């Protein structure tokens, strides 16, 4: 009797495990995150404005070995990249060179392909607008990313081997301006490149 009971319990467990596995297979895959800064991350960054490197690294949970002095003045480069829509963006902490205190973050990426950068630009614009609302770009500014002819202008600039730039800004968090800039220009050899810059900086005092 005990043996039969054990067999029945074992069979029931196998059946339940099978059902759970099948149920898991039917669940949709988790949507890939865009990597754009959330409101919570922006709030964490804002608490570090005006802080020196040691305080900034502690606030971000980083070690001295995680950063290095950047090629650009006023930047501490992070060793780890940030994945935004599958593209690996270089991460930099922006600091005031006179006081050596933080005032923002900079994400940079460049590509020598035409189609992928255009798609990335549109994805970044859509996600920023979704998270932060309508851009606060100065009305009437030329070369806005939200212009309906952006894609056409981007492709024409690329194919003609010319240079141009498009951007949008958003007011985010309590005291931060987010700026998305996309530029196209040829390098020294004439090859075309697209440059992406996403910056979060403290609002200028009025």
pLDDT tens-digit readout, 73-85: 899 999 999 999 9
pLDDT tens-digit readout, 138-184: 877 889 999 999 999 999 999 999 999 999 999 999 999 999 999 99
Residue ranges, the chain, pLDDT below 70: 1-33, 205-206
Beta strands in the chain (DSSP E): 67-69, 75-78, 82-84, 87-96, 101-111, 164-172, 176-186, 192-202
Q: For residue 50, what is the DSSP state? A: T
Query: What's the residue count for the chain?
Result: 206
Write down the pLDDT at residue 205. 56
Tokens of 65: 């070995």
Residue 22, Cα to own-chain centre: how many angstroms?
35
Write down the pLDDT at residue 110. 94
Is the pTM for the entire model greater than 0.75? yes
Write down the pLDDT at residue 71. 82
């Amino acid at each position: 009797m005990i043996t039969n009971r054990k067999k029945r319990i074992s069979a029931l467990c196998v059946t339940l495990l099978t059902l759970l596995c099948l149920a898991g297979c039917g669940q949709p895959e988790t949507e890939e995150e865009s990597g754009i800064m959330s409101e919570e991350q922006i709030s964490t960054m804002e608490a570090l404005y005006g802080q020196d490197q040691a305080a900034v690294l502690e606030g971000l949970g980083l070690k001295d070995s995680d950063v290095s002095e950047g090629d650009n003045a006023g930047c501490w480069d992070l060793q780890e990249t940030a994945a935004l829509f599958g593209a690996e963006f270089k991460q930099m902490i922006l600091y005031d060179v006179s006081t050596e205190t933080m005032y923002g973050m900079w994400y940079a990426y460049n590509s020598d392909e035409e189609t992928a950068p255009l798609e990335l630009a549109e994805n970044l614009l859509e996600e920023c607008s979704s998270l932060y609302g309508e851009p606060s770009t100065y009305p009437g500014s030329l070369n806005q990313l939200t212009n309906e002819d952006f894609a056409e202008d981007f492709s024409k600039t690329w194919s003609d081997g010319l240079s141009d730039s498009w951007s949008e800004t958003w007011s985010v968090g309590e005291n931060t301006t987010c700026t998305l800039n996309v530029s196209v220009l040829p390098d020294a050899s004439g090859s075309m490149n697209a440059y992406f810059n996403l910056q979060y900086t403290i609002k200028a005092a009025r």
